A and B are shown apart, each in its own frame.
Chain A
Amino acid sequence: MSEQPLRLRSEGGVRAIEVTNVHGTSGFGRSERLAAVGLVVLMLLLAALVFTAQAFAGRSSTGELAFYPCTECHPVTIGPDGNPTSPLPIDFEKHEIELEMHDILGEGDKACLACHDDPSRNPGMLILPDGTLVDVSGDVSRVCQRCHFEKYRDWQLGVHGKDAPKCSSAGCHDPHTPSWIYVAALPPFQGTGIEVRAVSAREPFKPLAAPPVAPPIETPIWLAIAVSLGGLISLGALGYLILGRSKR
């Protein structure tokens, strides 16, 4: 069997992978060459995607990395009993999240348990209004609905927030401190492994002390004087039109 070296050849600005045999005759037809070009382009795109994902990896609304290389923090190892161990993060002890608004839900861990399932089972599961559990990749807005049902209804109607398909409460609000809102809405965690989305800067939400008061209408005095003069002229013209010129 003859050796078939790989060569890269440039044809009209298109780089093509060509496989030639030792006798110099082409081993692939036109369709195969096109498929090879497509494969290269696809790989380049994939590489660009991965690079972009790495470059733009930030923190999601829950404080976790938006780009989720799961096994870096959660290595799966085999325990003495031969079964996989619980994939806890390396050197993980406990999450420490400072609550600003939701601290009213309880002291210490009680505040966490208001929304999260028991840590001994799966804290990644959240509690819905009917007591059932939902994964963080599920409809997390319904977790907020338990207390913020009016806002939830407004959001459903499209009155509050942006009624986009992927939009959820956690996409705009930091769920642990909901008074923090994101400048640009974040997509919820989809668990796909790749989130090509930079996390935007956060802005503190400043609630108004009172309903806004509309500024008064300003009318320049000279305009009022001009209107008075114009009104008099118009009245004179109208009077002439209706009554006609007095006959002497």
Chain B
Amino acid sequence: MAEVSTTPPGVKRIIGVDFNFAALRTAGPRYWAFVSLLLTVGVLGLMAWGTLLTQGGVVMAMRDSYPWGLWFTNYMYYVGLAAGGLVVYASVHLFGAKQYHPLARLAVLQAGVLVMMALLGIITDMERPWRAMWMLLTPNFTSPFVFTGSAATLYMVICFVDLWILLTGKGGEKLARRMTLIALPLAIYMHTTTAFVLALNKSRELWHTAVMVPIFLTSATASGIALLLITAYIFQRLGIMRFKASMFRSMSTLLATVIIMDLFLLVVEILVVFWPTSAQPGHVVRFSEFLTGSYAFAFVPVLVLGTTAFILLARRSTRHLPALQITASVMYVVAIFLKRYSLMAMGFSVNPLGQPAPPFVPSLVEVLLALGIIALGMLIMTISAKVLPLEVPEDHDEGQESPRVEFAVEPTLEVG
């Protein structure tokens, strides 16, 4: 079908994508109140970054016992959350899961934004970020950070290229499928190398385990699907996109499956640590801190929230209820954040000299930096919800060229 050049006023085509800036003019006051809230938090984050750059690491809580802090927790968390987008995208274009088709654009956008947030966490943690280029120019190939950092950067680029392909329809289904074939192994590579950052440290007992990589992959996939489900519900509630109940039910089934795999691997790991014939003193002492000691506040909720989320989604007769789906998803997204914190702390709770360290509490600057990055990510999603044609039109195949008639009538993307 030939393109209809009836782009209404306010719609601007940039690199082949129709940006509906007119929708911003018609946005309600609540929309702008939310944007103002995000901007305020973002400005506070910028001020915190300025403080870090001018005053150095003394404004952060990271010391000898905790050389990695909140930024690393968030890096693992965001990289993991991004996996959900790719699972949905790959399901559509590689495995023909048509029920996720309406979600494809949103999924890829969210994945790209989350990886961008993960990378921003690394950049803002550096006290001299302009030196980051030296990691690329003179890479130390024994450090897994070289691999995970470059993979995350490449993955972010691929996500945004995928989004462009989906929005413009350029290349058709063939290109979308090819991009998935690149993105899927790259995503597995990215999550594996992120897990290797922990697993390759033999001096940190609880990190140095082969099951770290599969646990990382299952946690990432589960939390990513859960976050995507929550985002889809929010977008539907605000009238930005419409989805079928069967899609949410299918996502919930997928989520329950991945959650039980994730919990199984975690329980296996705990069993190996405490089983009498395999228990090693260093492992047992450290893990006990996370079950009954000073770190239990972070790790025990992982087991409780994870198990409860699975129980909520396990029954086929109630799995279709939106309240249960959202509750379980929120529980698992929170559980995985606590799991990432626990993972980070497991290496540092007792240092290699055997000295215990109290739980890591981030400083005000670190909290503001993290909030600022979240605000930036949410701001991109909020503006994209208005400006980008995220909703896949009915009977529109991503493989077809975009018909360009969506904005022939005034769009009604009213939020709030």
Q: How far is the CA of A157 from the CA of B30 in the complex (A)?
A: 59
Per-residue contact bits, chain A 194-213, to B (CB 8 Å; 1 contact, 0 not): 00000000000000000110
Contact of A241 among B34, B65, B364, B368 (CB under 8 A): B34
Question: With A159-B352, A217-B58 as given contacts, are A230 and B43 in contact (CB-CB < 8 Å)?
Answer: yes
Does B146 have its Cβ within 8 Å of any Cβ on chain A? no
Q: Which of chain A's residues 176-206 have a Cβ closer than 8 Å to chain B?
A: none
Per-residue contact bits, chain B 15-48, to A (CB 8 Å; 1 contact, 0 not): 0000000000000011001101100110110011
Does A119 have its Cβ within 8 Å of any Cβ on chain B? no
Does B355 have its Cβ within 8 Å of any Cβ on chain A? yes
Does A238 have its Cβ within 8 Å of any Cβ on chain B? yes
Question: With A158-B202, A227-B364 as given contacts, are A218 and B40 in contact (CB-CB < 8 Å)?
Answer: no
Q: How far is the CA of A159 from the CA of B205 in the complex (A)?
A: 11
In the bound complex, residues from chain A placing their C-beta under 8 Å from that of B64 are 212, 214
Q: How far is the CA of A244 from the CA of B34 in the complex (A)?
A: 12
Question: Taking CB as reference atom, which chain B residue is nearest A214?
Answer: B63
Question: Do B37 and A158 have beta carbons less than 8 Å apart?
Answer: no
Contact of A218 among B47, B55, B65, B368 (CB under 8 A): B55
Does B60 have its Cβ within 8 Å of any Cβ on chain A? yes
In the bound complex, residues from chain B placing their C-beta under 8 Å from that of A245 are 29
Question: Do B203 and A159 have beta carbons less than 8 Å apart?
Answer: yes
Q: Is the interface of B mostly helix, strand, loop or mixed?
A: helix
Question: With A218-B59, A220-B55 as given contacts, are A230 and B40 in contact (CB-CB < 8 Å)?
Answer: yes
Question: Taking CB as reference atom, which chain A residue is nearest B63?
Answer: A214
Q: How far is the CA of A118 from the CA of B199 in the complex (A)?
A: 48
Question: Taking CB as reference atom, which chain B residue is nearest A158?
Answer: B202
Instruction: Using C-beta atoms within 8 Å of the partner chain, give the interface range for chain A.
Output: 20 to 34
Question: Do A227 and B44 have beta carbons less than 8 Å apart?
Answer: yes
CB proximity of A69 to chain B, nearest CB, Å = 38
Per-residue contact bits, chain A 207-248, to B (CB 8 Å; 1 contact, 0 not): 000011011011110011011001001100110110011000
CB proximity of B145 to chain A, nearest CB, Å = 20
Question: Do A237 and B40 have beta carbons less than 8 Å apart?
Answer: yes
Does B150 have its Cβ within 8 Å of any Cβ on chain A? no
Question: Do A238 and B37 have beta carbons less than 8 Å apart?
Answer: yes
Q: How far is the CA of A240 from the CA of B30 in the complex (A)?
A: 7
Question: With A214-B64, A223-B51, A226-B44 as given contacts, are A237 and B58 in contact (CB-CB < 8 Å)?
Answer: no
Question: Do A215 and B364 have beta carbons less than 8 Å apart?
Answer: no
Question: With A211-B355, A223-B365, A234-B40 as given contacts, are A241 and B33 in contact (CB-CB < 8 Å)?
Answer: yes
**Pairs A–B under 8 Å by Cβ, sample size 27:** A159-B203, A211-B355, A214-B63, A214-B65, A215-B63, A217-B58, A217-B59, A217-B60, A217-B61, A217-B363, A218-B58, A219-B59, A219-B363, A219-B365, A223-B47, A223-B48, A223-B364, A224-B364, A227-B364, A230-B44, A234-B41, A237-B33, A237-B36, A238-B37, A240-B29, A240-B30, A244-B30
Query: Taking beta carbons and an 8 Å cutoff, which residues of A are in contact with B?
Result: 157-159, 211-212, 214-215, 217-220, 223-224, 226-227, 230, 233-234, 237-238, 240-241, 244-245
With A219-B364, A234-B41, A237-B34 known, 19 other A-B pairs at CB within 8 A are: A159-B352, A215-B58, A217-B61, A217-B363, A218-B58, A219-B365, A220-B55, A223-B47, A223-B51, A223-B364, A226-B44, A230-B44, A237-B33, A237-B36, A240-B29, A240-B30, A240-B33, A241-B30, A245-B29
